[in-house]
């Protein structure tokens, strides 16, 4: 068994069935405070658009509220979908966050639209060209966040001189290769896209080139955790995210569903197989069982940090799950 690692929280800001956006925002702030008290390293939110089950479309705004509710935990984007935005705007947003919460801000970047194609067209002027510019946009963003004192250049204020650390996020070999080439820390989205995890990590480590930000490879990977007093109850709670994934694959835009007693009444056999494959690295069961599953995941993947999401409908159960992971001394390095 490996040594404990830093553990972080990926808050997907679920809008639960029967709840409001305000409820989701309040839950995210409370969840971040619990994660901080339990010794988690970071809390990240992801940019998604047009989804009835996700409240974090305005990611920087959400992070401002979470930063205000906490004292020391790192806060950041996991991630901002950079092709959706001019790099200068993101530099200004995250430069402002860094001014508000010095030394606590991360900026994880992704290339996907974070939504369906119709909404993507509403966000982007040119979907294909914006995605092709991704590497150049990262370099431009680094420029705005760095020490740029020339009056002849465009300057991001706030942003200039903030040196907000960048991460590259992804679920493919492309993102791993780009992170290695640019010498940036890399986070893999294995919590929903597990297939290329091992190959991406191997590629990243093998081709990593040191940079001004990072002198050696640093890898974080995602997993889901669903904890209950019994395996049966944990599996019942898991049916919320199983339904959510099923809805996404059907094109049904709905809030986070309530759990059901039998997922076979909601999804057909083929859908269940597909969803369960995507959730291959979900740790489900009692606290003892989940700790063993997550520890094995960290060992096998050879990662430096673990980031967990808790895809539960019930707010109290989500809080309890974060507290339970915080008590796993064999897994988590307290920050």
Could you give the 3-state DSSP secondary structure of residue 280? coil
Q: Return the structure tokens found at 116.
A: 């369906």
Structural domains of the chain, ranges and CATH numbers in brackets: 7-326 (3.20.20.30)
Residue 20 CA to its chain's centroid (Å)? 22
102 vs 77: CA distance, rounded Å: 16
Q: What pLDDT, on the 0 to 100 scale, is given for residue 167?
A: 98
Helices (H), ranges, the chain: 21-37, 59-69, 87-100, 117-123, 127-132, 134-145, 173-182, 197-207, 231-250, 269-278, 287-301, 315-326
Q: How far is CA 330 from CA 1, 7, 230, 234, 321, in A?
A: 9, 12, 21, 21, 16
Q: Return the structure tokens found at 108.
A: 């994880």
Q: What pLDDT, on the 0 to 100 scale, is given for residue 284?
A: 98
223 vs 193: CA distance, rounded Å: 10
Q: What pLDDT, on the 0 to 100 scale, is given for residue 119?
A: 74
Beta carbons of 283 and 297 less than 8 angstroms apart: yes
Could you give the 3-state DSSP secondary structure of residue 202? helix
Helices (H) and strands (E) in the chain, counts: 12, 9
User: Mean pLDDT for each 10-residue chunk of the chain (335 residues)?
Assistant: 88 97 98 98 95 96 98 97 94 98 98 74 70 93 88 87 97 96 98 96 98 98 98 98 96 96 97 97 98 97 98 98 94 85
> Within a 13 Å sphere around the CA of 62, how many CA atoms are in the beta-carbon half?
34
Q: What pLDDT, on the 0 to 100 scale, is given for residue 107?
A: 98
Could you give the 3-state DSSP secondary structure of residue 195? coil
């Amino acid at each position: 068994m490996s040594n404990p690692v830093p553990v972080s929280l990926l808050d997907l800001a679920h809008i639960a069935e029967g709840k409001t956006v305000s409820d989701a925002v309040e839950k995210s702030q409370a969840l971040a405070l619990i994660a901080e008290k339990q010794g988690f390293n970071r809390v990240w939110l992801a940019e998604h658009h047009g989804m009835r089950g996700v409240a974090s479309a305005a990611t920087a705004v959400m992070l401002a509220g979470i930063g205000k509710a906490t004292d020391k935990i790192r806060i950041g984007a996991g991630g901002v979908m950079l092709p959706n935005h001019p790099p200068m705007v993101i530099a200004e947003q995250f430069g402002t966050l860094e001014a508000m919460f010095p030394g606590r801000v991360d900026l994880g970047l992704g290339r996907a639209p974070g939504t369906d194609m119709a909404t993507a067209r509403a966000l982007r002027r040119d979907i294909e060209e914006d995605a092709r510019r991704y590497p150049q946009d990262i370099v431009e963003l680094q420029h705005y966040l760095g020490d740029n004192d020339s009056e002849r250049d465009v300057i991001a204020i706030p942003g200039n001189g903030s040196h907000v650390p960048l991460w590259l996020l992804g679920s493919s070999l492309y993102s791993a290769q780009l992170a290695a080439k640019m010498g940036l820390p890399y986070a893999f989205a294995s919590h929903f896209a597990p297939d290329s995890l091992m190959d991406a990590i191997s590629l990243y480590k093998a081709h990593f080139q040191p940079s001004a930000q990072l002198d050696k490879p640093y890898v974080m990977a995602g997993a889901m955790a669903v904890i209950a007093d019994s395996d049966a109850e944990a599996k019942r709670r898991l049916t919320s995210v199983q339904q959510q994934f099923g809805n996404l694959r059907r094109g049904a835009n709905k809030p986070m569903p309530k759990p059901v007693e039998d997922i076979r009444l909601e999804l057909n056999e083929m859908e269940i197989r597909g969803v369960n494959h995507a959730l291959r690295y979900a740790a489900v069961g009692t606290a003892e069982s989940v700790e063993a599953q997550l520890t094995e995941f960290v060992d096998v993947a050879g990662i430096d940090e673990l980031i967990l999401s808790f895809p539960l409908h019930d707010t109290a159960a989500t809080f309890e799950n974060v507290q339970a992971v915080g008590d796993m001394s064999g897994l988590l390095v307290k920050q």
